[in-house]
Chains A and B, each alone.
Chain A
Amino acid sequence: GENVEQHPSTLSVQEGDSAVIKCTYSDSASNYFPWYKQELGKRPQLIIDIRSNVGEKKDQRIAVTLNKTAKHFSLHITETQPEDSAVYFCAASGQAGTALIFGKGTTLSVSS
């Protein structure tokens, strides 16, 4: 089955800096790669996703890149703000009925 590795486990940045979180996956059949932000005690909230026919996607300060050959994808947050502090999870899945498998999460701390 699919296995998703995520790095780093913790990331501390100063407000205004960029943050990059990286994930690798094992199943070449995976074609859907969402990123979720989870605040303490809350549900995972989808922040951006990418599908295997696209190499990069951007939404304001957030961007995701995908390298299918290398089986890795990354989340980039620019101009970080204290409210970006949360746990970020990457995930990977194949077609819609299959499991969405999560990485172990990255705790991002943005200090002002």
Chain B
Amino acid sequence: EPEVTQTPSHQVTQMGQEVILRCVPISNHLYFYWYRQILGQKVEFLVSFYNNEISEKSEIFDDQFSVERPDGSNFTLKIRSTKLEDSAMYFCASRGSTAYFGPGTRLLVL
């Protein structure tokens, strides 16, 4: 069964540093998403991506965030200048008829 994959599984960074989180969606899916989940809280929508552009974004997805599909398979989330409050689990998801989540990247900002 095809799966969404994400790398790295864990990332520790210093406040102010840039991080790039990577995802490989399911190959025949056309819609891609990033979500975050702060420990013990709900899954929060960040952004959706279709046809090489953002189709929807939440208030959380400010100018510090960007997404890209650089090579037709990877889907990346960049945080330009990390803050302490960016510490969370970041999930990528892809959707065909149903939406499947990757295993997540646990980001810790020190």
Residues of A within 8 A of B (CB): 34, 36, 42-46, 49, 89, 91, 93, 96-105
Query: A43, A100, A103 — which one has the most chain B CB atoms within 10 A of its CB?
Result: A43
| Tally of B interface residues using CB under 8 Å | 25
Query: B43, B50, B101 — which one has the most chain A CB atoms within 10 A of its CB?
Result: B43
Q: Are A97 and B31 in contact (CB under 8 A)?
A: yes
Q: Are A97 and B55 in contact (CB under 8 A)?
A: yes
Q: Are A102 and B100 CB-contacts (below 8 A) given A43-B91, A97-B50? A: no
Which residues of the partner chain B approach A36 to less than 8 Å between Cβ atoms? Answer: 43, 101
Q: Give how many A-B residue pairs fall within 8 Å (CB-CB).
A: 56
29 contacts between A and B (CB under 8 A): A34-B99, A42-B103, A43-B91, A43-B101, A43-B102, A43-B103, A46-B98, A46-B99, A46-B101, A49-B98, A89-B42, A89-B43, A93-B99, A96-B30, A96-B95, A96-B96, A97-B31, A97-B48, A97-B50, A97-B56, A98-B55, A99-B48, A99-B58, A101-B45, A102-B43, A102-B44, A102-B45, A103-B42, A104-B42
Q: Are A99 and B33 in contact (CB under 8 A)?
A: yes
Q: Beyond A44-B43, A99-B56: 20 further Cβ-contacts under 8 Å?
A: A34-B98, A36-B43, A43-B104, A46-B98, A46-B100, A49-B98, A89-B42, A89-B43, A91-B43, A97-B31, A98-B48, A98-B55, A98-B56, A99-B45, A99-B58, A100-B33, A100-B45, A100-B93, A100-B99, A102-B42
Which residues of the partner chain A approach B42 to less than 8 Å between Cβ atoms? Answer: 89, 102-105
Which residues of the partner chain A approach B41 to less than 8 Å between Cβ atoms? Answer: 104
Give bound CA distance, A49 to B99, whole Å: 10
Which residues of the partner chain A approach B55 to less than 8 Å between Cβ atoms? Answer: 97-98
